[in-house]
Chains A and B, each alone.
Chain A
Amino acid sequence: MDVAKLLQQHVDLMDDMFKEGLLDEQFNQLQQLQDESNPNFLEEVVSLFFEDSQRILENMTETIGKDPIDYKVIDSQVHQFKGSSSSIGAQRVKNVCVTFRTCCDKEDKKGCQDALEDVGEEYNLIKKKLETMLELEKQIVAIGGTLPFMEGC
């Protein structure tokens, strides 16, 4: 596939992610941090987000599965997830975390269980799209193209 088509696919994917509220302006900030001295910065940060998120989700699942639920522990876990998702611009994941924390404050077991399910769904959705984005970027660079946010670097 030629560079122009891949670039268009990249543009369309990014537009969709922003329009659907999956990503916010913070993601643009991250793209702008990638430069010649750190050409893989975005991939490194996104990969780290995936690692941390997987671990946090597993921990949250374990905490919610206990009886009684330790709401301080789950709140701390949600706080971490909210922080990292906010820093990467994963807006919908962050928003679910905000709701989740409210349920923790109220010690609402059902609310927490539902929020855990929601946050898992939102995370899986953004993860899939970001993986597609990273794969497109690798292909673009491999055939000599320049990523739109790297132009001028």
Chain B
Amino acid sequence: MHLILFLPFTPPPPPPPPPPLFSQCLLWVLVVLERNANGHRQRKVLLVEDTRINRIILRKVLQNLNLLCDEAENGKIAVDLHVQGNSYDLILMDKEMPVMDGHEATRQLRLMGVKTPIIALTGNALQSDRELFFEAGVNDFQTKPLSRDKLVQLLIRHGVESSIPAAG
């Protein structure tokens, strides 16, 4: 009798090859893994930004870097995504947004226990802006617009490996 068992997703390591005892029958444990072609889990970024054109541009940069991307138009949506159980490898957090700004969203995420690296993005390079954001709990601070090269540096600095293509 051939049995095929489907188990829920479990993290690496990959399953060992079938032992010899089962070589005559097809008893396999199939584990469905969310992996890309290189066998690495695809990293996911949360982009929190109210301006649509900025989201479209950053989304394209992230896609080109082989990163998955969720988007939130304001800080409250970002917080709600975490309340719903979503998790990310990196959060890009705009400062000025309607409903809930970047400072407050960062504070709330840290109060919830979210440890994901948060990168503050702002059009101003004011020292006061930096201080407020770091007090709220961000890990890093960048002025907009965020170039591909700066984003790659941030990803590496915060341990978000991806299948980063060679610069072209």
Contact B148 A29 (CB under 8 A): yes
Interface residue count on the B side (C-beta < 8 Å): 18
What chain A residues lie within 8 Å of B168 (beta carbons)? Answer: 32, 152
CB distance from B59 to the nearest CB of A (A): 10
B interface residues with partner A (beta carbon < 8 Å): 50-54, 56-57, 60-61, 64, 96, 98, 123, 144-145, 147-148, 168
CB distance from B102 to the nearest CB of A (A): 13
* A-B complex: 7 closest residue pairs judged by Cβ atoms: A83-B51, A84-B53, A87-B54, A33-B60, A87-B145, A26-B145, A48-B53
Judge if A146 is at the interface, Cβ distance under 8 Å. no
Interface size class of A (residues with CB under 8 A): 20 to 34
Contact A48 B51 (CB under 8 A): no
What chain A residues lie within 8 Å of B148 (beta carbons)? Answer: 29, 32
Contact A88 B53 (CB under 8 A): yes
Which residue of A is nearest B55, CB measured? A87
User: Complex Cα distance A86/B58, Å?
Assistant: 13
If over half of A's interface residues share one DSSP class (helix, strand or loop), that class is named, otherwise mixed; here it is: helix
Contact B145 A29 (CB under 8 A): yes
- Say which residue of B52, B64, B123 sits within 8 Å of A52 (CB atoms): B52
Chain A contacts with B in 30-57, Cβ cutoff 8 A: 30, 32-33, 35, 38, 41, 44-45, 48-49, 52
What chain B residues lie within 8 Å of A49 (beta carbons)? Answer: 53
Judge if A61 is at the interface, Cβ distance under 8 Å. no
**Further contacts, 19 of them, CB under 8 A, given A45-B56, A83-B53, A84-B54:** A26-B145, A26-B147, A29-B145, A30-B57, A32-B168, A33-B61, A33-B64, A41-B60, A45-B53, A49-B53, A79-B96, A80-B50, A80-B51, A83-B54, A84-B53, A86-B123, A86-B144, A86-B145, A87-B145
User: Complex Cα distance A80/B96, Å?
Assistant: 9
CB distance from B63 to the nearest CB of A (A): 9
